A and B are shown apart, each in its own frame.
Chain A
Amino acid sequence: MSAIFIKTAGLGPHAFVAVALSKRALSAYRLSFGAAALAAAINSVFGLLVAWVLVRYDFAGKRVVSALVDLPFALPTAVAGIALTALYAPTGWIGAWLPVKVAFEPLGVVVALTFIGLPFVVRTIEPVLADLGTDVEEAAASLGAGRAQTVVRVVLPAILPALATGFALAFARGVGEYGSVIFIAGNLPYRSEIAPLLIVQQLEQYNYRGATAIAATMLAASFAVLLAINLLQAWDRRKMAA
Chain B
Amino acid sequence: MTVSVTGLTKRFSDHTALDGVGLDVRPAEFLALLGPSGSGKTTLLRIIGGLDFPDAGTVTFAGENVAGRPARDRRVGFVFQNYALFRHMRVADNIAFGLTVKPRRERPDARTIAARVDELLALVQLPGLGRRYPAQLSGGQRQRVALARALAVDPSVLLLDEPFGALDAKVRNDLRRWLRGVHETMGLTSIFVTHDQDEALDLADRVAVMNAGRIEQVDTPDAVYNRPATAFVADFIGNACRFDARLAGGGVDVAGVRLSNSGPACADGPGVAFVRPHEFAILPAGAPGLAATVRRVAHTGSRAGVECVLADGRIVDVSAPLDVAAGMGDAVTLVPTTVRAYPA
Contacts and interface: CB of A to CB of B under 8 A. Distances in A.
B285 to A, nearest CB: 56
B61 interface: no
Interface stretch (A108-116, A141-149, A173-181, A205-213): A141-149
Contacts of A157: 86, 88-89
Contact of A240 (B77, B87, B150): B87
Contacts of A144: 72-73, 75, 98, 101-102, 153
Residues of B contacting A: mostly: loop
Given A142-B78, A146-B72, A239 B133 contact: yes
Contacts of A160: 88
A144 B51 CA distance: 12
Residue among B78, B81, B86, B149 with most chain A CB within 10 A: B86
Interface residues of B, number: 32
Nearest to A159: B88
A86 B10 CA distance: 53
B80 A139 contact: yes
A153 to B, nearest CB: 7
B135 interface: yes
B101 A146 contact: yes
B76 A140 contact: no
B236 interface: no
B213 interface: no
Contacts of B149: 139, 143
Contact of A138 (B71, B88, B101): B71
A145 B78 contact: no
Given A146-B72, A158-B88, A241-B135, A140 B82 contact: no
A242 interface: yes
Residue among A135, A136, A143, A158 with most chain B CB within 10 A: A143
A102 to B, nearest CB: 39
Interface size class of A (residues with CB under 8 A): 20 to 34
Contacts of B89: 157
B50 A142 contact: yes
Contacts of B70: 141
Contacts of A139: 78, 80, 84-86, 149
A142 B152 CA distance: 12
Interface in B129-143: 133, 135-136
A59 to B, nearest CB: 14
A143 B148 CA distance: 12
B88 A141 contact: no
Interface in A213-242: 239-242
B53 to A, nearest CB: 13
Nearest to B87: A240
A149 B104 CA distance: 13
Contact of B87 (A141, A142, A145, A158): A158
A145 B101 contact: yes
Contacts of B84: 133, 135-136, 138-139
B225 interface: no
Nearest to B86: A154
A160 B88 CA distance: 10
Contacts of B72: 141-146
B51 A141 contact: yes
Contacts of B97: 140, 143, 145, 153
Contact of A149 (B51, B71, B85, B101): B101
Nearest to A241: B135
Interface in B82-135: 82, 84-89, 97-98, 101-102, 133, 135
Contact of A142 (B71, B88, B135): B71
Contacts of A241: 133, 135
Contacts of A135: 80-82, 84
B77 A142 contact: yes
8 contacts: A135-B80, A142-B71, A142-B72, A142-B74, A143-B150, A144-B101, A153-B97, A241-B135
Interface of B: 49-51, 70-78, 80-82, 84-89, 97-98, 101-102, 133, 135-136, 149-150, 152-153
Given A144-B73, A144-B98, A160-B88, 5 more contacts: A139-B78, A140-B86, A142-B77, A144-B101, A158-B88
Nearest first, the 5 closest Cβ-Cβ pairs linking A and B are A143-B98, A135-B84, A139-B84, A142-B78, A145-B101
